[in-house]
Structure 1
Amino acid sequence: MTMLSRVAERLFWMARYLERAEDTARLTQAYTHLVMDIPEGSEPGWDILVNILDAAPMYTSRFRVYSEQNVLRFLIADPDNSSSIHHSIVAARENVRTTRDVLPEEAWEHVNELYHYSRETSESSIGRRNRHAFLEQVYTRCQMINGLIISTLCRDHAYRFIKLGHLLERADMTTRVIDVGAGALLGEENAKSPVTPLVWASLLRSLSAMGTYRRTIGPLIEADAVVDFMFCEASLPRSVKFCLDGIRKELTPLHNNKEALRVLESSRRKLTRFNADETQPEKLHQFIDRLQLNLNTLSDSICETWFPPPQG
């Protein structure tokens, strides 16, 4: 089967933006609960959410302080922030609108409904009164849309580019949460803090992995076990290994895949050498930096190989 490169590009980015909206909603929800549950005086700063999404330069150009209201406005409703929930939904909708003929008929209806819901309620959901309901609606609807697409599409090139975007975005978010979240919340001086289990539990919830962790590893939440689980557990859909293995599966049937596979295999080799038990915080940060660089290179390789250059 062949397909237009413009269509492949839009499907790829549709999947990335839908995953981004869901992941940002989950992260914001989990962090809000952490701040409310943690003992007074031990609360981490709201800047951590901005740093996880690597959006500090844009944020500081717009806001002077990292207050709860400013950060949540930036992450939930800001139309110009590419990491915000509303911006991601708008971008996903536009990509679905231009590829409706290769997607299930109901996909446009559900994405359009999500767009109108976000447009009407995102601004009023910055405060705590409406925030929980809004975030839950966002990630529930994103899951429904992804489930619809995955359960009805033929396993052709359209499906492959959707999966590539979906898995790349998910791997990127997992590495960001573990790197910035764990590094900022659990510096060496806080390693023995009584709130440490709460923090790691929050990180697992932000990645929708708490229940699976408890069934697979056990009820005791420890730093090394969480990091190893989120990076190397082959059966966990949100682990980095699962995502990289899935990307390899979707790249293999595509033509001209040599360069993308080369970059991917470099990431997979790095992951096989990873051992959380032997990794100090600084080494973990360096490892994740290299892995994220590989993920960015892989994304660039996919775009350069299969998507047309910008016209201008």
Structure 2
Amino acid sequence: MTMLSRVAERLYWMARYLERAEDMARLTNAYTHMAMDIPKGAEPGWDVLVRIMDAEAAYTDHYRVYNEQNVLKFIIADEDNVGGIYNAIRAVRENVRTTRDVLPEEAWEYVNELYIYAQEHADKSIGRRNRYKFLETVITSCQMISGMLSSTLSRDHAYRFIKLGRLLERADMTTRIIDVGAAALLGEDRHHTTVDPLIWASLLKSLSAMGAYRRMIGPQVEANDVVDFVLRNETLPRSVKFCLNGMREELIPLTNHKPVVKLLDRARRKQSGFDPYNSTREQLHTFVDEFQASLFNINRTIDSTWFQQDQT
């Protein structure tokens, strides 16, 4: 290794939290628009957003009811929600602050501006009046920071750990969204199946994949086509396959990469072998659960391989 393991760890988590903030903002924005478009009584509940985060226990510690106001406060502004937007931005700032010597000078400036903006506006953006502007600002700022890092960093170990963190977080979020979409939103006991295409379209929009889907698949939004597209498409930047392939590319130049690559290749085989066209929603749910466990093991092995070396 040519860099301290604690620096590599902070860069990795900086990228994860930056991706988390952007993804949660995208998801919240798309879900809000869907809730306004679907006829009253046919829309899924706001608890879906909490379930995607796998944060039911943390939510019920502070809130009793799953309504729009409570859920959006939990996601946007709650300082105790480790998966929320404000907390993710705060974590990005702290990790950048402690790694400024290996990042472009602009990184701290842009991240600090985003943090100050979130600090001032998160609480005011829970209601619908200010929510769209806040979420769009977060998305745009995260994209700007990610783009700046991608276009200015040398392709060294710092860049590799940033990209690993970003792609692992992105794969995790994509599978969470698909799992809830298939196993919860579109259960067989639902009575308003005519709105299902709107729900799947919303999930595609939360991944910024609607345009690509229409160009490559067609205008008709079908559940199995959507699942196959975001799991197995090789060219979509937010597909699971794209993320796993990109992670492998960055792992190979690193010393002691074999244990992580072995787990990653196992996850790639699992992802490639899953056929959404011949699977039930229960089988999809089981696949996602197992895949999430694979991502957890990959993250744990990355930690033990590279981030614990110089810790006493």
TM tier, smaller: over 0.9
Q: Partners in 2 of 1:139 and 1:36 — Cα distance?
A: 21
Q: CA deviation at 1:12?
A: 0.1
Structure 2: which amino acid aligns with 1:71?
V
Q: Is the CA contact 2:4–2:310 (under 8 Å) kept in the aligned structure 1?
A: no
SS in 2 for 1:45: coil
Task: Give % identity.
Answer: 64
Matches within 5 A, 1:125-204: 125-190=125-190, 193-204=193-204
Matching of residues 208-223 of structure 1 within 5 Å: 208-223=208-223
Asked whether the 8 Å contact 2:263–2:294 carries over to 1, the reply is yes
Q: Contact 1:52–1:181 at 8 Å: present in 2 too?
A: no
Q: Give the stretch that moved more between structures: 229-238 or 100-109.
A: 100-109
Secondary structure in 2 matching 1:189? coil
Question: Which amino acid in structure 2 is aligned with residue 198 of structure 1?
Answer: L
Cα pair distance change 1:192/1:36, threshold 3 Å: closer
**Residue 311 (structure 1) shift:** 6.3
Return the alpha-carbon distance in structure 2 between the equivalents of residues 264 and 110 of structure 1: 33
Q: Show structure 2 runs of 5+ residues with no match.
A: none
- Report what 1:32 is aligned to: 32
1:119-138 deviations in whole A, cap 9, x for unaligned? 00000000000000000000
Residue 15 of structure 1: how far off its partner (Å): 0.1
Deviation string 1:224-249 (CA, Å, 9 cap, x unpaired) is 00000000000000000000000000
Alignment of 1:243-262 (within 5 A): 243-262=243-262
Distance 2:191 2:41 in 1: 17
Q: How much does 1:191 deviate?
A: 8.6
Tell me the residue number matched to 1:53: 53
1:310 to partner: Cα distance = 9.9
Q: Is the 8 A contact 2:53 2:176 kept in 1?
A: yes
CA contact 1:46–1:68 (8 Å) conserved in 2: yes
**Equivalent residue letter for 1:187:** G
* 3-state SS of paired residue (1:78): coil
Q: Is structure 2 residue 112 aligned with structure 1 residue 112? A: yes
Give deviations 1:167-221, integer Å, cap 9, x for gaps.
0000000000000233211112349711011000000011111111111111010
When structure 1 is superposed on structure 2, of 116-125 and 100-109 the one drifting more is 100-109
1:64 matched residue in structure 2 = 64
Q: Which residue of 2 aligns with 1:122?
A: 122
Of the structure 1 ranges 210-219 and 116-125, higher mean CA displacement relative to structure 2 is found in 210-219
- Following superposition, the deviation at residue 40 of structure 1 comes to 1.2
Structure 1 regions of 5+ residues with no counterpart? Answer: none
Decide whether the 8 Å contact of 2:181 with 2:200 is kept in 1.
no
Match of 1:62, SS state, is: coil
**Number of aligned pairs?**
312
Alpha carbons 1:228, 1:276 under 8 Å: kept: yes
Q: Distance in 2 between matches of 1:305 and 1:287?
A: 27
Determine if the alignment matches structure 1 residue 14 to structure 2 residue 14: yes
Distance 1:72 1:277, change over 3 A: same
1:55 Cα offset (Å) = 0.5
The alignment's TM-score, normalised by the length of structure 2, stands at 0.98
Matched position secondary structure for 1:31: helix
Residues 26-80 of structure 1: per-residue CA shift (max 9 Å, x gap):
0000110111000111121110000000000000111111011110000000111
**Residues 124, 130 of structure 1: 8 Å contact kept:** yes
Query: In the aligned structure 1, how far is the partner of 2:180 from the partner of 2:293?
Result: 15
1:270 is aligned to 270
Q: CA deviation at 1:308?
A: 2.0
Instruction: Supply the RMSD in Å over aligned alpha carbons.
Output: 1.3
Encode CA deviations 1:272-294: one digit per residue, 9 max, x unaligned.
21111101000000011111100
Deviation per residue, 1:84-132 (Å, 9 max, x gap): 1000000000000111111111111000000000000000000000000
Are the equivalent residues in 2 in contact too, given 1:231–1:241 (CA < 8 A)?
Answer: yes
Match of 2:84 in 1: 84
Q: State the AA in 2 paired with 1:82.
A: V
- 1:293 aligns with 293
Say whether the 8 Å CA contact 2:6–2:310 is kept in structure 1: no
Q: TM-score, normalised by structure 1?
A: 0.98
- SS of the equivalent of 1:33 reads helix
Question: Match for 1:180: what amino acid?
Answer: V
- The one-letter amino acid paired with 1:17 is Y
